[in-house]
A and B are shown apart, each in its own frame.
Chain A
Amino acid sequence: MVIDQKASHTSGLAELPSANGLSRRGFLQAGAVAGGGLMLSLSLPFGNREAKAADVFVPNAFIRIGSDGQIVLTMPYVEMGQGTYTSIPMLIAEELEVDLKQIRLEHAPPNEKLYANPLLGVQATGNSNAIRGAWQPLRQAGAAAKTMLVAAAAKKWNVDPASCRAQSGEVLHPPTGRSIKYGALAADAAGMPVPEKIALKRPQEFKLIGTPAKRLDTPAKVNGTAVYGIDVRPQGVKIATLAQSPVFGGRVKSVDDTAAKTVKGVRQIVRLDDAVAVVADHMGAAKKGMAALKIEWDDGPHAKLSTEDIARELDQATLRSGAVAQNIGDVGKAMASAATKVETLYQVPFLAHATMEPMNCTAHLRKDECEIWIGSQAVARVQALAAKAAGLSPEKVIVHNHLIGGGFGRRLEADGAVRAIQIAQHVDGPVKVVWTREEDIQHDMYRPYWVDRISAGLDYKGRPIAWNNRFAGSSVIARWLPPAFKGGLDPDSTEGAIDLVYDLPNFRVEYVRVEPPGIPTAFWRSVGPSHNVFVTESFIDELAAAAKQDPVAYRLALLDKAPRAKAVLALAAAKAGWGGQLPQGLGRGVALQFVFATYMAQIAEVEVSKDGAVRVHRVVCAVDCGIPVNPDTIRAQIQSAIMFGITAALYGNITIKNGRVEETNFDTYQILRMNEAPAVEVHIVESRESPGGMGEAGTSAIVPAVTNAIFAATGKRLRKTPIDIALLKSG
């Protein structure tokens, strides 16, 4: 299978087939392709609302079966290492009865109306929902296409369709031994009615789904031929690097470029309102030119801002009442009757994404149109914001999307494209704007800082009868997708804080939205749950300790109404040897969660040295993500997410002093390395439920598993990440 990395502008509409049938369910349309072939247009549903309002048919994914037998799927999700380009075609191939290799993927061009993500409502890849969104409709489309191909063959042979069978890309008629390949049937199939009822395979009939499929995007990634955004080289491209105001909201006061202009290879200095760029023949010259620039900045209103100011404001905010995210029973009354009360504060810091591919975007601005080369999780957003910056209408902005060298939410933002446009407006010809690692870390858009004030009341047996959590921090959704921020709440900020798996009869969670002055916030791997699961799973561990009970047994006793959660916890405990002896200085910690529609339990074995250094040796994870589509990808994503989360637990911290981010590169913003990586065991629970999300869940669970293990090893409860080694010193 070839992956087409090029996406030109809105050509999808022109290829829409003429409709000859619309299924009763209103998500599928069939038509003929020019040159002979079958085209299915799908409308992936948007939650429950749109499923009911199917009178307007707006397709956002397309399957073409050509007369050559080639099957092409055009879909809006992007590959960023999570295996989507392999798992999504599996859904169609399963029902269509073709080999995975027969399906070619084309990345969708930017078009918000056509390609909106069914769960996000915008054209973006995020929130671990590609498989969740595509699970039903893509299998149904595959089954519909198969039915139409079989009908075409049956008509040709003048036999009953029920006597025919589809297998390996052809229709067979076993009684007579005849067969025809799909390609030869595609044109006729386009004239067949779209089936009104689509029977899907039962899970026990799956041949592909549930088997480990080889990733389709990897060969080019091991021999240097894969093209990421940063690798594009349009004819005549110049390379630029930039310095943005070190203080958020600051402005350029003056630039002395005398020395920079004399650097060999430097072509041009571009001065913007709040940034300066050096344009050169190559990045080496651009960086040298940048080092030779003398820039004076007007620091603006945030010149004195520090992390402590932000933390204090959030702490104060948790004393105010917030929007009620969930309220069960009567917390006040239950708390008054509690035998024991536990109350405490938790907090998590700003975090950078630090994708291995630094931010970059290439732009070529011509008189009345513009071309952009980028690796983006949200191409339609890039197109819209770049068009605005360039003063063009969106259809005049051609976006070429490329492989993504790490997304984690950073590439859901279009700030890098806007910067490239601002610089390209001063440059004759194409310019590739490459951020240095320092710019990438110091001008990221950060995982928000959050503070939680949380309390619980226990009865005389130690069981929680009241749970009260009020937290404050930024809402990324409120900026990124304003319609989804309603009544002071959004689904991301609260995920993992509400709808807990535990049986808690009196339960209240409030959220206070507080935007930090000047600091841009954004999605991150696991965003809301990366904060909420740390708080809730640390706190339930505190309650177990207050009740003098084993952390696993304490949780199990609260799970009678959540059998899938109970099963993953019991499985993880059994596989990890929970309760077994560990040497002095080592501890086991557990965490359990239901986020991104996936149940997960993790148990970490952690060693704390006398000097306070923490080493995670082993992580056991049990997961119930519904039907596992590609089990090897599930394992890979969990291994990956665990490393990502351990980095956050041990090191992740963006601090602000005098309005600037203090961390600069991988020496001050550390990432977990090979010599620190634990062994990871993943146990996948057999399930017939619909698939859950997989890319992010592992990140949120590991953080409290590690801090709970530290508590088990040392008796010290850490209520803030990253862990403070000074607090853990014992010798």
Chain B
Amino acid sequence: MAFLIKINGNTHSVDVDGHTPLLWVLRDVLGMTGTKFGCGMALCGACTVHINGKPTRSCVTPIDSIGTSEITTIEAIGKTAVGAKIQKAWLDREVVQCGYCQSGQIMSASALLASKPHPTDADIDHAMSGNICRCGTYVRIRDAIKQAASS
């Protein structure tokens, strides 16, 4: 059956099996490839999107569990005030290396700042430890979150 899902303010109809993870609907069905595949088991955070503002691993989120919830992806996070601040801090601090995990990092960091405008180091550890960066950009991710929080 077809599902109606709301992504970045637009409604899309997708005809896939109800168990299909949101990640593959985004990437392969709708062609929104900014959200990345890393592990398929919610272990690395590369696929993080926001569902009603909450950071969510799209690789383990079946399409039939979403209903009318609002999905926000990396393609649109810059339209939110917090997302734009995070993206700017990421560029200012030269966080990025290979960049593959950074969509997920930015989605997790934006959700953190949206709920805690002035996070402590412990808050950052808690919110960001689900996102692996194989290039090891953690030092700069921490600095960039702090910069965004103070801007």
| Nearest CB on B from A525, distance (A) | 10
Interface residues of B in 70-87 (CB under 8 A from A): 73-75, 78, 87
Bound: A405/B100 CA distance, A: 5
Q: Is there a chain A Cβ closer than 8 Å to B44's Cβ?
A: yes
Nearest-CB residue, chain B, relative to A641: B136
Interface residues of A in 256-309 (CB under 8 A from B): 263-265, 281-285, 287-288
Bound: A640/B139 CA distance, A: 9
| Nearest CB on B from A238, distance (A) | 10
Q: Is there a chain B Cβ closer than 8 Å to A338's Cβ?
A: no
* Category for how many chain A residues contact B: 35 or more
Q: Is there a chain A Cβ closer than 8 Å to B129's Cβ?
A: yes
Q: Which residues of B contact A165 (CB under 8 A)?
A: none
Per-residue 0/1 for B14-37: is the Cβ within 8 Å of any A Cβ (1 yes, 0 no)?
Answer: 001101110111011101111111
Q: Is there a chain B Cβ closer than 8 Å to A162's Cβ?
A: no
Q: Which residues of A contact B74 (CB under 8 A)?
A: 223-224
A284-B125 contact given A406-B98, A674-B131, CB 8 Å threshold: no
Is the CB–CB distance between B38 and A282 below 8 Å?
A: no
Q: Is there a chain A Cβ closer than 8 Å to B113's Cβ?
A: no
Is the CB–CB distance between A81 and B98 below 8 Å?
A: yes
Nearest-CB residue, chain A, relative to B28: A282
Is the CB–CB distance between B17 and A284 below 8 Å?
A: yes
Q: Is there a chain A Cβ closer than 8 Å to B111's Cβ?
A: no
**Interface majority SS (helix, strand, loop, mixed), chain A:** loop
Select the stretch in A91-99, A354-362, A546-554 that faces chain B. Answer: A354-362
Select the stretch in A41-49, A536-544, A665-673 that faces chain B. Answer: A665-673
Bound: A83/B96 CA distance, A: 10
Q: Is there a chain A Cβ closer than 8 Å to B134's Cβ?
A: yes
Nearest-CB residue, chain A, relative to B130: A673
**Interface majority SS (helix, strand, loop, mixed), chain B:** loop
Nearest-CB residue, chain B, relative to A83: B97
A674-B141 contact given A224-B35, A406-B98, A406-B135, CB 8 Å threshold: yes
Q: Which residues of A contact B141 (CB under 8 A)?
A: 674
Bound: A345/B16 CA distance, A: 56
Is the CB–CB distance between A356 and B46 below 8 Å?
A: yes
Q: Which residues of A contact B36 (CB under 8 A)?
A: 228, 230, 356-357, 405
Q: Which residues of B contact A675 (CB under 8 A)?
A: 125-126, 128-129
Is the CB–CB distance between B29 and A406 below 8 Å?
A: no
| Nearest CB on A from B21, distance (A) | 6
Bound: A647/B90 CA distance, A: 24
Q: Which residues of A contact B23 (CB under 8 A)?
A: 283-284
Interface residues of A (CB under 8 A from B): 80-83, 214-215, 217-219, 221-228, 230-231, 233, 239, 263-265, 281-285, 287-288, 354-358, 403-408, 434, 436-437, 632, 636, 639-644, 647, 665-667, 671-675, 677, 679-680
27 inter-chain pairs at a CB distance below 8 angstroms, sorted by A residue, are: A81-B97, A215-B96, A217-B99, A218-B91, A219-B91, A222-B87, A223-B75, A224-B73, A224-B75, A231-B27, A281-B28, A282-B16, A282-B25, A282-B29, A283-B27, A284-B24, A288-B17, A354-B134, A356-B98, A403-B98, A636-B94, A643-B138, A665-B43, A673-B129, A673-B132, A677-B138, A680-B139
Beyond A354-B134, A356-B46: 19 further Cβ-contacts under 8 Å? A83-B97, A214-B91, A222-B96, A226-B99, A228-B100, A282-B16, A282-B27, A284-B19, A284-B20, A284-B24, A356-B132, A405-B99, A406-B98, A632-B94, A636-B94, A639-B136, A673-B130, A673-B132, A679-B139
Q: Which 6 A-B pairs have the closest CB atoms?
A: A224-B34, A643-B136, A405-B100, A221-B99, A81-B97, A81-B98
